[in-house]
Structure 1
Amino acid sequence: MESTCRCTAPVAEEQITALPDEALRPLAELFTLLETAPWSGEPYNRAKPRSNMLTHAFGERGLATYVVLEEQRETLLVRLEWP
């Protein structure tokens, strides 16, 4: 499934703005990956491996949580972590 990864929840938008410069390239690479392979992440809830909420590591320390919206052919970025 080809999708777009342009949708972000307000919390994720704030988190993107707060990311250090070193995280921006890995995040851009993650967006590119999610456009072609949105199901490549790990289940957010391992007890529900078929759920459409997933996590994906990016860069050396980042973790993105996102939802695959199959019918809309989109992914919605919900939260970013960069400790």
Structure 2
Amino acid sequence: MYTVDLDPVAQQQAEALPATAINVFLELRAVLEVDPWSGRPLNPDNPKSNILTRTFGGFGLGVHLILDEQPLVYIVRIE
């Protein structure tokens, strides 16, 4: 199981989500705790990159960095 943490900018973006998106974002965090590699590479030309993206419920896109050694998922941006 991975720990999920947010970059300060991503934290601000999460706090600005509309109320209807909060539960979907929390579901994204739960998925990242157990299966962070299920996202898509941020750069399709580098499919083995540890920087991935995942959509959440049609509300947005999360960009996260995976540090297997920690084990940590660091959400860097929420669009």
TM-score (norm 2): 0.96
Q: Could you tell me the percent identity over the aligned residues?
A: 43
What are the superposed Cα offsets for residues 15-61 of structure 1, whole Å, 9 maximum, x if unpaired? 01111001100000001100110101000000110000000010123
Match of 1:47 in 2: 45
Q: Which runs of 4+ in 1 moved over 3 A?
A: none
Match of 2:9 in 1: 11
What is the distance in 1 between the residues matched to 2:32 and 2:38? 8
TM-score (norm 1): 0.91
What is the distance in 1 between the residues matched to 2:58 and 2:47? 25
- Unaligned 5+ segments in structure 1 are none
SS of the residue corresponding to residue 77 of structure 2 reads strand
SS of the residue corresponding to residue 66 of structure 2 reads strand
